[in-house]
Structure 1
Amino acid sequence: MKKFFFLPVSLPFLILLLLLIPILFLLFAGTITLAFQKLGLPLPVAYTLFWASLIGSFINIPIAETKTYAPILKVKEVSFFGIRYPVPYIDWGEQKMVIAINVGGALVPLSIVTYELLRFAIAGNMELIIRILVAILIATIFSNFFSKPVKGLGIAIPTFIPPLIAASLAFLLGGPNKPAIAYASGTMGVLIGADLLNWNRIKELGAPMVSIGGAGTFDGIFLAGIIAVLLV
Structure 2
Amino acid sequence: MSRRSLIVPPVSLPVLLVMFVVFVAVFVVFSSIVMAAFEKLGIPPEVAYPLFLFALIGSFINIPIAEETSYEPVLAVREVRFFGISYPVPYVDWSERRVIIAINVGGALVPLSIVLYEVFRLIYMANFSLLFNTLVAVAIAAMFSHAFAKPVKGLGIAMPMFFPPLIAVVLGWLLGNGNPTLVAYVSGTMGVLIGADIMNWNRIKNLGAPMVSIGGAGTFDGIFLAGVIAVLLT
**Aligned match for 2:69, one of 67, 71, 92:** 67
Shift of 1:131: 1.0
- CA distance in 2 between counterparts of 1:73 and 1:25 reads 49
Select which of 169, 172, 179 maps to 2:171. Answer: 169
SS in 1 for 2:160: coil
- Whether 2:126 is the aligned partner of 1:124: answer yes
Query: Deviations for 1:48-76, whole angstroms, at most 9, x for unmatched residues?
Result: 11112112222111111121224669798
Native 8 Å contact 2:58 2:106 kept in 1: yes
Q: What value does the CA root-mean-square deviation take over the aligned residues?
A: 3.1
- Deviation, 1:25, is 0.6
Aligned twin of 1:81: none
Shift of 1:198: 0.5
Amino acid at match of 1:62: P
Counterpart CA distance in 2 for 1:39 and 1:217 is 18
Partners of 1:43 and 1:26 lie apart in 2 by 15
Following the alignment from structure 1 to structure 2, what is the Cα–Cα distance between the partners of residues 72 and 176?
57
CA separation of 1:13 and 1:212: change in aligned 2, threshold 3 A = closer
- Structure 2 alignment gaps of length 5 or more: 81-90
**CA distance in structure 2 between the partners assigned to 1:216 and 1:26 by the alignment:** 18
SS of equivalent residue, structure 1 residue 66? strand
Once residues 164 and 76 of structure 2 are traced to their aligned partners in structure 1, the CA distance between those partners, rounded to angstroms, is 41
Deviation of 1:216 after TM superposition, in Å, equals 9.2
User: In 1, distance between residues paired with 2:205 and 2:45?
Assistant: 42
Pair 1:208–1:72, CA change in 2 (3 A): farther
Using the size of structure 2 for normalisation, the TM-score is: 0.84
User: Contact 2:104/2:213 (CA < 8 Å) preserved in 1?
Assistant: yes
**Which residue of 2 is the match for residue 34 of structure 1?**
36
2:212 partner SS: strand
Match of 1:19 among 11, 18, 21: 21
Size of the aligned set, in residue pairs, is: 226
Post-superposition offset of 1:17: 3.5
Contact 1:157 1:217 in 2 (8 A): no
Q: AA paired with 1:188?
A: M
Q: Residues 17 and 210 from structure 1, CA distance in 2 versus in 1: closer, same or farther, beyond 3 angstroms?
A: closer
How far did residue 124 of structure 1 move? 0.8
| Greater Cα offset, 89-98 or 189-198 | 89-98
Of 38, 52, 55 in structure 2, the residue corresponding to residue 53 of structure 1 is: 55
The structure having more radius of gyration, on CA atoms, is 2
Q: Does 2:205 align with 1:203?
A: yes
Range that drifts further, 214-223 or 153-162: 214-223
Q: In structure 1, which of residues 137, 140, 147 is the aligned counterpart of residue 139 of structure 2?
A: 137
Letter in 2 for 1:104: G
Partners in 1 of 2:139 and 2:6 — Cα distance? 61
Larger mean CA deviation between 15-24 and 210-219 belongs to 210-219
SS at match of 2:221: helix
Structure 2 CA distance for aligned equivalents of residues 27 and 74 of structure 1: 54
Is the 2:67–2:98 Cα contact (8 Å) retained in structure 1?
Answer: yes
Matched, 1:220 2:219: no
Question: Using the alignment, how far apart are the partners of 1:217 and 1:97 within structure 2?
Answer: 23
Question: Gaps (5+ residues) in structure 1?
Answer: 79-88
